[in-house]
Amino acid sequence: MSIAIAAITAIVAAVEGAYKSAYELVDKFGPDTALIIGGGEVQKASGYRYKTLTLTDAQAIRDAFMSAWLVLPVAIKPGTTVSYGSKKHQTLVLGSSENYSKSWSWPVEEGSDLTAEDIASGTNVCLTGVKVVGELFGDKSPAGETIMVGRIPCRVIGVLADRTISQMGQDLNDRIIMPISTVMRKLLNESRYVSVIKVRFEDQGNLKYHIAELREFLRHRHNLKEDDDDDFKIITSDEIIAFLVALTGSLVVFLGITGLVSLVVSGFVLANLFLLSVKERTREIGIRRACGATRGDIFSMFLFEAAIVTALGGVMGFLLGIGVSEILNATANFPIHFSWRAFAAAMSLSIVTGVIFGIKPAVNASSLKPIEAIR
């Protein structure tokens, strides 16, 4: 019973966690946002890998779409080693334009944001996530300190606020933000191509229309023929929600089957135990009937006992489910969220199981004749 309820509890918590994480991420991502990802080094038949989004694409979008109040190209350098003194850490480095904090709705907790001057001059400055701060500095403030990003000395000018959500396994706090000009020139040895372009529109209600226009605009700029596949991908908040919720599906199916099987098995075990209990308590039943208890009283007594036993199993299963969910959260960064719904589902299933599988023993107990039972 406890295993079944633990599985059900984990399912409810995982589903609610996925939805909560999705909507929190959308809130930070921006419901008015389109994220254009470059063909990301698409594989040609020749084996040559190429990139597709450029800085000039970003500028062209600024010029062509008057409703786009933000166009932010981003260069990405994953797995970069950063160090401070003897401490080292591998993290994600992002090259961004000015006002990263405003662009991504991500407050700077300490220090200041990137400026237009930083971008224009390609200065060696950076913002850090709290994960990086903890790895390199511990409890010490990093503001004003110089760290090594790869082989580049970089002065920390700000610390991003802690974000409690993660992108399904990737800690959002584990990153460093630098001027895009610095990252492209000094880390990527790149002068043209970028990884991502973020676009935010003023009129959120027409986002689908803007996405369609943006797609046609980029296809035209990239000289794609009618039957050519897009060499880029545009992601919106709706797709993020669908993706995160879909990821929950496999866990729901697995735990759902496990929980259902365990629930049925535990129900049969419960029924057999109570049938045995009826035999052992035959004399007690006879005495109760002789003292005036009706068949309905005996039936209700056994059914109530079955419900109580399974309710206790539900509580134990709920606590076990919390443990399983926390392990998932800790080991796989799986979004988990507990609410009264998880507890209500656990208790309801427990009691319903007890009532259903307790009916047969209760009927048997109430059918005993008083005189024969006392004998």
- Tell me which residue has tokens 């992601």: 235
* CA distance to 326, 341, 345, per residue, from 15 (Å): 14, 11, 13
Q: Across residues 107-120, what is the average pLDDT?
A: 92
Token pair, residue 96, equals: 């961004």
Residue ranges of alpha helices (H) inside the chain are: 2-29, 55-64, 100-103, 116-121, 130-137, 180-182, 207-221, 237-280, 282-290, 295-332, 340-367, 370-374
pLDDT tens-digit readout, 123-135: 999 999 999 999 9
Six token digits for residue 165: 């959500």
User: Comparing 208-217, 242-251, 273-282, 292-301, which segment has the lowest mean pLDDT?
Assistant: 242-251
Give tens-digit pLDDT for 293-351: 888 888 888 888 888 888 888 788 778 777 777 776 666 556 666 666 767 777 787 78
Average pLDDT over residues 171-199: 92
* 8 Å CB contact between 104 and 26: no
Lowest average pLDDT, out of 117-126, 147-156, 329-338, goes to 329-338
**Residue 28's Cα: distance from chain center in Å?**
14
- pLDDT value at residue 46: 43
Q: How far apart are the first and last CA of the chain?
A: 35
Q: Which of 25-29, 44-48, 86-90, 342-346 has the lowest mean pLDDT?
A: 44-48
What pLDDT is attached to residue 44?
47
CA angle 27, 55, 71 (to 5 degrees): 30
DSSP β-bridge partners for residue 147: 154
Q: What pairing do the DSSP bridges indicate for beta strands 196-201 and 33-38? A: antiparallel
Q: What is the pLDDT of residue 290?
A: 81
Residue 40 clears pLDDT 50, i.e. is over it: no
Residue 163 has a pLDDT of 81
Average pLDDT over residues 279-304: 84
Averaged pLDDT of the chain:
82
pLDDT at residue 164 tops 70: no
Single out the residue of 72, 59, 132, 135 nearest to residue 101, CA to CA. Answer: 72
**pLDDT at site 48:** 41
Q: pLDDT-based confidence at 145, cuts 50/70/90? A: very high
- Residue 208, pLDDT above cutoff 70: yes
CA distance 117 to 342: 51
Q: Residue 47 pLDDT more than 90?
A: no
**pLDDT tens per residue across span 61-89:** 999 999 898 899 999 999 999 999 999 99
